[in-house]
Structure 1
């Protein structure tokens, strides 16, 4: 049983229609590379997937990327942050692995990080509702 069973039932319908489940081998590599990664995130990728939520509302990546891959270099204060998505407007969201894998949003203008959640399931449900 998944905490996303209700969403899985709506798979293929907007705003979930552009998501692609992550293949098991990629999921295993992600889990091995990032011990402690929240199970809710992995469950979502496995059962619902990655991709665009709604019409350019939020992009969920097929894995985690380091801040230097999204920004020029690694901005100060983002060590231990792994990005999992963005809002198509410059703000990126990710996990702060140095602080219990809490969810942070990175402001692209000054690279400040704001804690926006502790639970991936709650976070992504808010994004899905906004995209719907």
Structure 2
């Protein structure tokens, strides 16, 4: 298992987390996206979706087009981002599909797209569960 350390945290402190498993059909649908990082797909399979530490971070139950949440008229580049979660304050994190699926953050104040330091989804997930976001 790739995410056994995260699963252990959830198991050891179940009141700090609210996670659910996804159906295989949803995971299969996400897997069909060309270039999608496999560590993200493995996370969906092993961990699922839900919230970390009472509104610290929410992992969505699949990718969401950023322009469903944010106004693409203010920043057309938003259309290139698929979101997988947010910090409950309006800032979301996702993949910029036109830049090798780079992990980026969209800041709600000005809708800027800011690259994250993490080089993989697994590294980001570990940072979130360590509350180092």
Same fold (TM > 0.5): yes
Q: Which of structures 1 and 2 has the larger relative contact order (alpha carbons within 8 angstroms, sep 6+)?
A: 1
The answer (yes or no) to whether the contact 2:49–2:59 under 8 Å persists in 1 is: yes
Q: Distance in 1 between matches of 2:104 and 2:70?
A: 16
Q: Distance in 2 between matches of 1:49 and 1:122?
A: 16
1:50-88 deviations in whole A, cap 9, x for unaligned? Answer: 011111000100001111211134632223210111000
Offset of 1:5 from its aligned partner?
A: 2.1
**Where does residue 26 of structure 1 map in the other structure?**
26
Aligned ranges 1:1-132 → 2 under 5 Å: 2-12=1-11, 13-14=13-14, 17-32=17-32, 34-73=33-72, 75-116=75-116, 117-130=118-131
Of stretches 70-79 and 105-114 in structure 1, the one that deviates more from structure 2 is: 70-79
Q: Secondary structure at the match of 2:77?
A: coil
Give the paired residue count: 129
Q: Secondary structure at the match of 1:46?
A: helix
The answer (yes or no) to whether the contact 1:66–1:83 under 8 Å persists in 2 is: yes
TM-score, scaled relative to structure 2: 0.87
Tell me the C-alpha RMSD between the 2 structures: 1.8
TM-score, scaled relative to structure 1: 0.88
1:8-37 deviations in whole A, cap 9, x for unaligned? Answer: 3343334763111211111001112x1211
